[in-house]
Structure 1
Amino acid sequence: MQPKEPREKKGGKRTLTPSEGEGGAGDDQRKRRNRGGTEEQGGEAPGPGGRPPRGPGGKPRDGAWKGLEATSVGYFRRVGDRLGEGFEDDEERVMFVENVLTEVKGKAKVVATDKTGSATLQKLMALASLDQAVSCDRAGGHVVEGALRQMPRWTESPEDSEASALETQVLSLSAAVRRDPAAFVTHMYGSHVVRTLLHVLAGCVAPPRADTRTGAGVKGRPGAAPPLTNYEAPVSFWYEFRSLTEALITHINVSVTETVASMVFQVMLTVAHRNRPKLCKKLLAGVIEYLGSRSAAPGTSPLLVFLKDHASSRLLEVVFQLSSKPLLRLLYQDHLRGHLVDLSLHKIANFPVQRLVAASASHKMFPKVFDELNEGVEAILAAGHMGVIVQLAESCAEGGEKQGELMQHLLSAFHCDEPATRHACCLPLFLSLLTYEVYYTAETEGGAINTEIPLSSICYHGSLLVQAMARFKDRSLLMSSLRALTPADLAALGVDPTGSHVMQALLAVSSDKGRGKILRRLEGQLVQIACSRTGSRLLEAAWNNASVSQRESIATELAPSETRLRTDQYARHVWSKFALSHFVTRRPRWKEIQTEESKKRKLFNDIIA
C-alpha cells in the first residue's frame, strides 16, 4: 500500500505518510532487523519477507496478518497518535481526516482487518463527517460498528445528502444480514455488528464497547447493561428493523444454543421492548413457541432442558424479564410449576429462576412462586446459590407480600429461630451466611456457647440479603440484632466494604429515635470510621439523615481530632462537609445553619411524600 503525498495546510501540521515521522519507516525496519524483532501485524508476526504466517501446505493460517505492509502499520500508528493530540481548529481536523480517508479508500478491508489499522479507523469515525464515514467500505467488525454509531448525528447534518448516503449504507448492511442471518449471528465478530445494527435501526445507541469495558457510563451492580440513548431514526429504519427481526427469528433453530447468536437475540428483544413493544410481544411469542415445541422426555417441558444450557438460559432470562403478565403466567403454569427448586439447585438454571422471581414480584402469581421456592430455602442455601434467596427477599420487599414467612424460614435455616434468645444473633449470621452452630463454635469453660465472638466473615450476598430485608415492613429483629452488637463490631461493620452498605440501609430506614440509639453505640468509634474509605461515606450518609442534636453529637466527638482528620485522605472530606472548622470557632452560628438546613430538608421530604 503506497499512499499519496497529502495536501498541506498553511500554518498547520501536515498529514503523516508512511515515509514520514520520527526516524521514518525505513529506520523502523532496520531497527527491527537489527534486534531480530517483528512488527505487530493483525496480532501475529509475519513470515519471511513480510509474508503472512503459513500453515500446512503453504496456505496462510486463519486469523493471520492479511496484508498491511510494515510502512503502512507505522503510518496508521502515527495517525492514531496524531488523533489523540487533538486539533487547533475544525479546518485542520477536516483536512487531516479527509487526507487519511483518501488514502484508505479502496483498501478499507485490508486496513480494517489489521489490528493497528482497525484501532485507528475507529478513532477516525468519531471525527469524520457523514460522507467521509460512508466512503469507508463495510469491513472489520469494530470499524463497521464505529460507522453505525455515527447514525444519530444524521439529524444534525446540514447536508441532507450526507444523511441520505449514510442511511442508504445502513439499509444496505441490513439487507446483507437478511440474506444470510446465520452466517452473521454465529460469527464472533459479525454478531457484534448485527447487535449494533439492531440498536441503530431501533432508534437507540449503546456506548462503544471500549467504554463499557472501562466502566464509563455504566453504574450499578457489576454486569449491569450499559445505558441506551434514543435518537430520531428515519422512518425507513422502522420498516427495516421489522424485516431484520423477522429474518432473524426464522433462524432461531441454529442460533438459540450458540453463545454469540444468543446475545444477538437478547439485544433484539431488549431494543424491541424499548421502542417497539408490540413487535416485542410477537418476537417473544415466537421464541417461546420454538423452545416449547422441541422434543423432550415424556411429561417434561423442553424449556427445562434449555434452562440448563449456557447460551439459551441467557436468552430465557431476557424472555422472563420482558414478558407480559399473561405470557409469564403461561410460562410458569405450562413449563415451570413444580420444578423451581430443582432448577434453583442447578448451576446454570438458577439464574433464569432469579429473573422469573424478579419479574413476578408485582404479579398475582408471586405467592405461588414464593411458596414453591420457600420449601427449598435450606437446600438452595446449602447449594450456595444465594442469588435466588437474595432475589426472593428483594421481590418480597418490592411486592410487600410474604415478608414474615421468608424471615421465619431464614431464621429456621440459620438455626436461630429457637430459643427466642437467638434472635439477637440473626444479623451476624445473615451477614456471614453461617448457621448458629458454625458461627459460634467456641465454648466457655462451663460448656456453654460463647456468643461474644467478634463480627467477621461479612460476605457480598449476605450484605445484599440484609439490605433487601431492611426494606421489610417489620424489621424489628434486624434492628434489635444491630443494637446488640458491640461498639467495636459496629465500627467493623461500618468500615467493611460490603457491611457499610448494610449499616447505611438500616440507618436510612430507622426513626430519629432508633438512629440516635445506633449513633450513641458508635461513640468513641467515629474518628476510626471517618478515616476509612467506606466508613467516611457511611458517616456522610448518616449525617444527611441525622437531626440537629445528632449532628451536634457527631461534631463534638470529631472536633478534638482536627489534626488527624484534616490530614487523612478520606476524613478531610468529612471535616469539610460537616463544617467542623466553623463548629470549633463559631458554634452557635453553626447550629443555626444546621437548624435551617434541617427545616429545608424536612420541607422538601414532605413535598416529595
Structure 2
Amino acid sequence: MPEENLVKKNNRKRKKSFLKNARKYAKKGHFGRGSQMDEDTYQFFLRSLETFNLGFEDEESKSHFVENVFEHTENQEIECSSNQVGCRVIETFLPFANDSILRRFMEKFSEDLRPLVTDRFASFVLQELVQIACIKSIDPNINPDQQTYFKKFALKISKFLLNNLEDYMWDNTGNMVIRGCLRSLTQLPKETTQKRTFNKVHEQFEGPYLEEYIEIVKDYGERLILWPQFNEMCFSDLTSGLFQILLQALKQVDVKLLKKYLKKLLDDIFYSNEEQDSNKLPQAFMSSSALMLLEVAVQVCGKKMFNLYCDQLFSNRILTLATMKSTSFLVQKIIGKCSNKTQFDPLFDEMSDHLWEVIEKGHPTIALALCQACKRLSTKQGLFIQFLMKSFNCHEPEERQKDFPLSLSRLKPYKPNETTSTENLAKERLSLEGTLMLQTMLEFNKPIKIVNALLTMDTNDLKNLFSNSMGSHITDSFVKSGFVGEKSREKLVRKLMGTYQELAISRYGSRSFEAIWNVANFKAKISIMEELAHKEGSWSNTEFGRIIAAKLNLVLFKRNKENWKIDLNKSKHKPEEILAEVLK
C-alpha cells in the first residue's frame, strides 16, 4: 500500500476512534475532560466534527459551516478551548476560519495568558493561533493592517514565553507551547501529520523571515546556551526536545549561533574531555534524550562541523553504533548526511565486511542507507555488491550468484544443503529493505553482477519474483536504469517467454508485464502477442488480464495482425514526441 494511502487510512482510524470514545463517555455522563461543558454543546461539537470529516462540495460550503460552528463559541472561547472535545473541534477548524473569528479568539486569549499556557487543552488552541498568526503576518495576500495585527499577536505570545522561560521550561504543556512558537516563527513543519495544511505560504516557505521573529529566536538561543543547567537539559526528554526544535530554528535564521550550539554540544555533551581517553562509548550514546538531540545535530550541521563530528565522535565507532538498536537510526542519519567520498568512504570501510552482522542485529535499513549512499556519491559500488554477496554466502562459486536476488529479497543467507520452496513466492512477504537494495544496485554505474544474477535465475522463480508486490518494483529498475544495457533488457524479454500469460493475470505481475512490454523491441512484441493469443481465454477473462488484453488490443491482433502492426507503429510516435523532434 502506498505510504500516502497508509497515512490517510491511519488518520481515518484515529478520527473514528476519537468520536467513538467521545460518544461512549457522553453516555456515562462525562462530557470531555477539562472545563465543564453542557450536553447539548458537547453533542453539537461531536456532530460538527463528524460532518467536517465527511468533507464538503466546495470551499464556500466549508467556510459557511465553520462560521456557523464558531458562532456557538462566542463569549465562550476560553471555556470551549479548555474542554477536550471543544479544543479538538476549535483547533481543527481554526485554519479555515475568517479573520474576524481569528481576531476574536486572539483577543480573548491575550487577556490572561498565564493559565492558558499550562492548560492541557487550551494550550493546543494557543499554539494553533500562533502558527496562523505567523503565517498570515507574512502572507502578501493579507491586508497590511491585518498583517500587523497578526504579527503583534505572535510577538506578544513569544515574548511572554521568553520572559517566563524559567516557569515554562520544565512544564510539559508550557514546554510544548514554547516549541510551537519557535516552530511557527521559523515556519518549521509540525511534528504531527494529523494537522491539515491550509496555506501555500506555509507549505513552500523559503523566507525572508520577519526581522522581529529572527530576533526572538536569537534571544531564545542566546539565553538557553548560557543556562547553568544546560548539560542536564540535554539528558531530559522534555528539554532535549526543546533544544531539538531550537537547533532546527537556528539553522533557518542564525547559522553562527547554531555553530556555537553544535560545538558546545560536541565538547560538553557528546564527547566531553573526561571521555576522550576511554574505549567505551560516551555517556550521550546511552541516553535516548541525548541521542535524539545528536540526530538533529547531525541533520542541521554544515560540512565542516559534520567532519568534526565524524572525526571526534563517529570514527572507529560506527560499526558498534550500527549493531546497537538504540543508535541504528542515528547511523542512518550519519550515512545520509555524507555529502562526499571523504566523509563516506571511512564509514563504509569500517562496516563493509560486517554487513551481515548489522542485518542480523535487525538493522537492514543501515545496509540500505549504505547502498543508497554508494549510488548517490558514485563510490564503493562494486565493493558494496561484492561484500553484500559475501554476506549472503552467494559470492563464490560464481554459479551461486543466481541465488543472490532471492536471498537478499528474503534477507536470508544462501545455505547449500537447504532447499527453500519458491512455490508461494508471488504472495510471499519479502523484505522491503532487501528489494530496495536490489533496485538501487541496478542503478549503480556497473550493475552487471546484479543483472547477470537475475538473468541466470530459474525462469519460474524470476516470474514469481516479478509477480510479488515488492518484487515487481525490481522489474521497473531493471528496465528503466540507464546503466542496464539494451542487450540485457532484450535477454530479460526473451528469458520470460512462456510466462507472459501468467504475469498478465496477477495484480503485480501485470505491472511487471507492462514495464517489460514498454522496452521490448518490435520483434519481441510480436512474439509476446503470439504467446498471449494462444488459448487467450484462460487469462484474458481475468480481472487484470482483461486490462492487459485491452491495452495491447489483443482482439485486433487475432483478427488482423497487419493492422495491429500498423497501429503499434503509430503508437510509437506520440504527438509530444513528434513535436519534440520538430523543435530540435
Name the SS for the 2:418 alignment partner: coil
2:312 matched residue in structure 1: 334
Measured after TM superposition, the shift of residue 587 of structure 1 is 0.5
Are the counterparts in 1 of residues 338 and 344 from structure 2 also a CA contact under 8 Å?
A: yes
Structure 1 range deviating more: 363-372 or 343-352 = 363-372
Q: Does 1:517 align with 2:494?
A: no
CA distance in structure 1 between the partners assigned to 2:58 and 2:463 by the alignment: 53
Are the counterparts in 1 of residues 235 and 289 from structure 2 also a CA contact under 8 Å?
A: yes
Name the SS for the 1:307 alignment partner: helix
Are the counterparts in 2 of residues 205 and 228 from structure 1 also a CA contact under 8 Å?
A: no
CA distance in structure 2 between the partners assigned to 1:274 and 1:582 by the alignment: 61
CA distance in structure 2 between the partners assigned to 1:351 and 1:414 by the alignment: 23
Q: Does 1:351 align with 2:329?
A: yes
CA distance in structure 2 between the partners assigned to 1:81 and 1:346 by the alignment: 45
Alignment of 1:44-59 (within 5 A): none
Q: Does 1:238 align with 2:214?
A: yes
Q: Does 1:506 align with 2:496?
A: no
- Residues 181-206 of structure 1, C-alpha deviations (whole Å, 9 max, x = no match): 46656655555544443332114555
Out of 470, 490, 499, the position equivalent to 2:462 is 490
Name the SS for the 2:497 alignment partner: coil
Name the SS for the 2:27 alignment partner: coil
Q: Does 1:198 align with 2:182?
A: yes
CA distance in structure 2 between the partners assigned to 1:590 and 1:541 by the alignment: 20
The 3 A distance-change label for structure 1 pair 171 and 567 is farther
Alignment of 1:203-352 (within 5 A): 203=187, 205-206=189-190, 209-211=193-195, 229-230=205-206, 233-250=209-226, 252-273=230-251, 277=255, 280-292=258-270, 294=272, 296-297=274-275, 299-300=277-278, 304-352=282-330
User: Quick one: which amino acid aligns to residue 476 of structure 1?
Assistant: I
The 3 A distance-change label for structure 1 pair 82 and 494 is closer
Out of 387, 392, 397, the position equivalent to 1:419 is 397
Out of 78, 89, 98, the position equivalent to 1:120 is 89
2:148 matched residue in structure 1: 164
2:77 matched residue in structure 1: 108
Measured after TM superposition, the shift of residue 490 of structure 1 is 1.4
Measured after TM superposition, the shift of residue 466 of structure 1 is 1.8
- Residues 277-300 of structure 1, C-alpha deviations (whole Å, 9 max, x = no match): 555444433443442465754613
- Residues 471-527 of structure 1, C-alpha deviations (whole Å, 9 max, x = no match): 222222211111122222112111222222223222322322211211222223333
CA distance in structure 1 between the partners assigned to 2:402 and 2:50 by the alignment: 62
Out of 551, 567, 570, the position equivalent to 1:590 is 567
User: Quick one: which amino acid aligns to residue 85 of structure 2?
Assistant: T
Number of equivalent positions: 533
CA distance in structure 1 between the partners assigned to 2:365 and 2:579 by the alignment: 37
User: Quick one: which amino acid aligns to residue 129 of structure 2?
Assistant: A
Name the SS for the 1:355 alignment partner: helix
CA distance in structure 2 between the partners assigned to 1:242 and 1:301 by the alignment: 38
Q: Does 1:150 align with 2:128?
A: no
The 3 A distance-change label for structure 1 pair 378 and 560 is closer
CA distance in structure 1 between the partners assigned to 2:527 and 2:459 by the alignment: 16
Pairwise CA RMSD: 4.1
TM-score by length of 2: 0.77
Please state which structure has a larger fraction of its residues in helix: 2
CA distance in structure 2 between the partners assigned to 1:351 and 1:207 by the alignment: 17
1:441 matched residue in structure 2: 418
Name the SS for the 1:441 alignment partner: coil
The 3 A distance-change label for structure 1 pair 199 and 299 is same
The 3 A distance-change label for structure 1 pair 491 and 387 is same
- Residues 317-367 of structure 1, C-alpha deviations (whole Å, 9 max, x = no match): 222233222111111212222212111111111221222122225241322
- Residues 441-469 of structure 1, C-alpha deviations (whole Å, 9 max, x = no match): 14xxxxxxx99998667322211222232
Measured after TM superposition, the shift of residue 121 of structure 1 is 0.8
CA distance in structure 2 between the partners assigned to 1:326 and 1:87 by the alignment: 53
CA distance in structure 1 between the partners assigned to 2:83 and 2:547 by the alignment: 48
1:41 matched residue in structure 2: 31
Are the counterparts in 2 of residues 181 and 248 from structure 1 also a CA contact under 8 Å?
A: no
Are the counterparts in 2 of residues 483 and 518 from structure 1 also a CA contact under 8 Å?
A: yes
TM-score by length of 1: 0.75
Are the counterparts in 1 of residues 493 and 520 from structure 2 also a CA contact under 8 Å?
A: no
Alignment of 1:435-584 (within 5 A): 435-437=413-415, 440-442=417-419, 458-509=430-481, 510-558=484-532, 568-575=542-549, 577-578=551-552
CA distance in structure 1 between the partners assigned to 2:401 and 2:494 by the alignment: 22
1:396 matched residue in structure 2: 374
The 3 A distance-change label for structure 1 pair 476 and 497 is same
Q: Does 1:385 align with 2:363?
A: yes
CA distance in structure 2 between the partners assigned to 1:584 and 1:195 by the alignment: 67
Gaps spanning 5+ residues in structure 1: where?
A: 1-30, 43-63, 218-225, 443-449
Are the counterparts in 1 of residues 161 and 168 from structure 2 also a CA contact under 8 Å?
A: yes
Out of 338, 353, 357, the position equivalent to 1:360 is 338
The 3 A distance-change label for structure 1 pair 115 and 555 is farther
Measured after TM superposition, the shift of residue 577 of structure 1 is 4.8
Measured after TM superposition, the shift of residue 555 of structure 1 is 4.6
Structure 1 range deviating more: 451-460 or 321-330 = 451-460
Gaps spanning 5+ residues in structure 2: where?
A: 1-22, 117-121
CA distance in structure 1 between the partners assigned to 2:319 and 2:333 by the alignment: 14
Using the aligned pairs only, state the percent identity. Answer: 20
User: Quick one: which amino acid aligns to residue 237 of structure 1?
Assistant: Y
The 3 A distance-change label for structure 1 pair 116 and 396 is same
CA distance in structure 2 between the partners assigned to 1:321 and 1:229 by the alignment: 19
CA distance in structure 1 between the partners assigned to 2:440 and 2:423 by the alignment: 25
